[in-house]
Amino acid sequence: MAHIAAVIMAAGLGKRMRSKKAKVMHPVAGRPMIWYMINVMGQLVDSKVVLVLGHGAEQVHAYVDKQQDLRASIDVVQQPTQLGTGDAVKQAQAVLMPDDEPLATSCLIVNGDTPLLTASTLQCLLMHHQAEQAMVTMLTTNFPDPHGYGRVVRSVAHDVIKIVEDRDATPEELAIHEVNVGTYVVDSQFLFNALNQIEPRNAQGEYYLTDIVSIAVQEEVRVSAVKTQDATECWGINTREHLALAEQAMRGRIRTHWLREGVTMLDPATTMIDDGVQLGQDTVLHPHVTLEGQTTIGEDCVIRAHTRITDSQIGNCVVVEDCCVMEKAVLEDGASVGPFARLRAGTVLQQKAKVGNFVEVKNTVLGEGSKAGHLSYLGDGIIGKHVNVGAGTITCNYDGFRKSQTVIEDGVFIGSGSQLIAPVTIGQGAVVAAGSTITDDVPSDAVSLSRVEQENRKQAAARRRDAQTKASDK
Ligand code: UD1
Ligand code: CA
C-alpha cells in the first residue's frame, strides 16, 4: 500500500476575492495558485492527488489538463454544493477508499489557497505524523493578527483540543494567536470515519473539516501539531489584499533564489521574475525589468530598464536595451535589441543579429550578423546573413485578406525608406536603392530601384513664395 495520498480543496468561490474567476486561478508570480498546490503535492505523494473542484471547475480542470510539468497523477472530483471543507474532503472518499479500503495509509490535506507552502514544511509535517504515530497532525503558526483564521485551542497540558473558527470563537478564543493553517496529515481510515460524524452546527452552517480534531480528541486517538516559524508560508489567500501580499512574498523568494545563483539585480524590488523563468550566471537585470512565463535567459546578458520579456528564449551575451517588449521570441548568442523595440511571436534573431530602435518584428528570422537598426516593420520574413535593412524599411505583408512572405537572401542591402510588397524575394547580394517600392523579385547581385524620376523645377519654390507673400499683402 502506498503511504501518502493527497486532497486539495479548491471548490470554493472565494467570495471575498470579489472576482468572476475561481479563486485558485488567480496568479501569484505568473502561475495560478492551484499550480503551486499541485506542484508541491507531486513532490511528496506516492499515491493519488485528488483535486476537489466546484466553482469554476471547468476553467480549473482545463488549466490543470494542460500542465504537463505537474508531476502528480491527479484525480479531479466535483463538490456539487459548497457545504464546507469537511464536505469537500468527503468527495475524495470514492477515489481514496475504493471498496472501503484505504488506497494510502495517510492523507495529506491542503487548502487550495495557500500557494506559499513549501515541500520542506510539508515533509516535516509528514515525518512528525509518522514519528508521533498520530491519527491527525496539523500545521499551525502564530500570526500577530490571527483575524479570519481558525484558532488552535490547547489544554493546560498544551495538547490540541479543538480548532474554533473565527466566527464561532469566544472572546478568549479570539485572543489566541496560534492559527490553523488548513494543512493536515490524517490517517485515511480515521479521516473518512470522522467525516461521516461531522455536523454543520456552527455560525456558517457548514461541515467543518476542522471538527475532525475534536472527534479525534473524543475518541482518544493521538492528535499532534507542528508549529512552523515561517508564518508567511501559512498565508491563506482570501482577499485581493492577501493576494497582493502573497505576490510580493513569492517574488521576493524568486529573486533571492536568482541572486544566490549569480544573477545581478540593480534594483531587486522592481525586478519581476515569474516562477518558471530560468536565468544564467552573470546576467545583469536593470530596474523595472519584467520576465514572464516560460522565459530562459543565458549567461552574461544585460537587460536594461523597463523591458518586458514573455515566453522567450535568449542565449548568452545578449544585450536588450531599455524599454523593449518581447513575446515568444528567440534570440541567439550575441544578439542585440532596442532601445524601444518590439519583438512579437515567431521572431528569431540569429547570432549577433541586431534590431535597433523603433523596430517591430513578427514571425521573421533575421540571419546571423544582420541588422535592422531603425524604424522598421519586418513581418513574415526570412532574412539571411549579413543583410542590412535600412531605416524605415517596411515589409508589406498584408493585403487586407492574407499574409505573404518576404525573403531577403544573404548579403542584401536594403536602402532606407523601402517598401517590400510581399510575396517577394530579394536575391543574394542584391541592392535595393533607398526609397524603392519593390513589387517583383530582385535577381541576385542586381541593383533594383523603383522611384519616379526626379525633376528639379528651377526657381519654382521662389516663385511660389512670392505668390504667397503677394496674396497675404492684399
Ligand atoms: C479554513 C479553515 C480555518 C483555517 C483557514 C486557513 C475550515 C472550516 N476552516 O478557513 O480553520 O484557519 O482555512 O487558511 O476548514 N473549500 C471547498 N469546498 C467548500 C469550502 C471550501 O473546496 O465547501 C475550499 C476552498 O476553495 C479553499 C479551502 O477549501 O481552497 C478553504 O476554504 P476557505 O473558505 O478559504 O476557508 P477559511 O475560511 O479560510
Ligand atoms: Ca482560506
Write out pLDDT tens, residues 41-93.
999 999 999 999 999 999 999 999 998 777 667 999 999 999 999 999 999 99
DSSP state of 239: S
CA of 167 to the centre of ligand 2 (A): 14
β-pair partners for 406: 381, 424
Q: List CB-based neighbours of ion ligand 2 within 5 Å.
A: 113, 236, 238
Could you tell me where the beta strands, DSSP code E, fall in 233-314?
264-265, 272-273, 278-279, 284-285, 290-292, 296-297, 302-303, 308-310, 313-314
CATH tag, 2-234: 3.90.550.10
> Quick one: pLDDT at residue 1?
59
Mutate to test the pocket of ligand 1, among 85, 164, 210, 239 (most ligand atoms within 8 A of CB): 85
> Rounded to an integer, what distance in angstroms lies between the CA atom of residue 154 and that of residue 161?
5
* C-alpha dihedral (439, 440, 443, 447), degrees to nearest 10: -40
Residue 424 in contact with residue 397, Cβ under 8 Å?
Answer: no
> Rounded to an integer, what distance in angstroms lies between the CA atom of residue 1 and that of residue 448?
77
Pocket of ligand 1 (CB under 6 A): 9-12, 52, 79, 82-85, 87-88, 111-113, 149-150, 163, 165, 179-182, 208-210, 236, 238
State the cell numbers at 235: 498565508
Write the residue with the smallest CA distance to atom 11 of ligand 1.
150
Spans of all domains in the chain: 2-234, 261-448
| Ligand with minimal distance to 23 CA | 1
State the cell numbers at 156: 493546560
- Cell 537598426 sits on residue: 373
* Superfamily (CATH) of domain 261-448: Hexapeptide repeat proteins (2.160.10.10)
Write out pLDDT tens, residues 368-414.
999 999 999 999 999 999 999 999 999 999 999 999 999 999 999 99
Q: Please report, as a single letter, which amino acid is at residue 142.
A: N
Write the residue with the smallest CA distance to atom 3 of ligand 1.
150
Write the CA distances from 319 to 192, 220, 310, 350, 365, integer angstroms.
58, 66, 16, 13, 18
Mutate to test the pocket of ligand 1, among 21, 111, 143, 178 (most ligand atoms within 8 A of CB): 111
Q: Which of 61, 242, 306, 374 is catalytic?
A: 374
CA of 113 to the centre of ligand 2 (A): 6
- Kindly give the confidence (pLDDT) of every residue in the chain, 474 residues in length, as a single tens digit, with 9 standing for 90 and above: 569 999 999 998 889 999 999 999 999 999 999 999 999 999 999 999 999 999 999 999 999 999 877 766 799 999 999 999 999 999 999 999 999 999 999 999 999 999 999 999 999 999 999 999 999 999 999 999 999 999 999 999 999 999 999 999 999 999 999 999 999 999 999 999 999 999 999 999 999 999 999 999 999 999 999 999 999 999 999 999 999 999 999 999 999 999 999 999 999 999 999 999 999 999 999 999 999 999 999 999 999 999 999 999 999 999 999 999 999 999 999 999 999 999 999 999 999 999 999 999 999 999 999 999 999 999 999 999 999 999 999 999 999 999 999 999 999 999 999 999 999 999 999 999 999 999 999 999 999 999 889 999 999 999 999 999 999 887
Concerning whether 3 is annotated as a catalytic residue, the answer is no
Q: Find, among 14, 63, 69, the residue nearest to 42 by Cα.
A: 69
**Relative to the CA of 236, which ligand 1 atom is closest?**
14
CA of 113 to the centre of ligand 1 (A): 8
2-234 and 261-448 share one fold: no
User: How many CB atoms are located within 10 Å of the residue 449 CB?
Assistant: 15
Please name the residue ranges forming H helices in 134-187. Answer: 171-174
User: How would DSSP label each residue in 188-212?
Assistant: HHHHHHHHTT----STT----TTHH
pTM of the full structure = 0.93
> Rounded to an integer, what distance in angstroms lies between the CA atom of residue 313 and that of residue 278?
10
> Rounded to an integer, what distance in angstroms lies between the CA atom of residue 34 and that of residue 38?
6
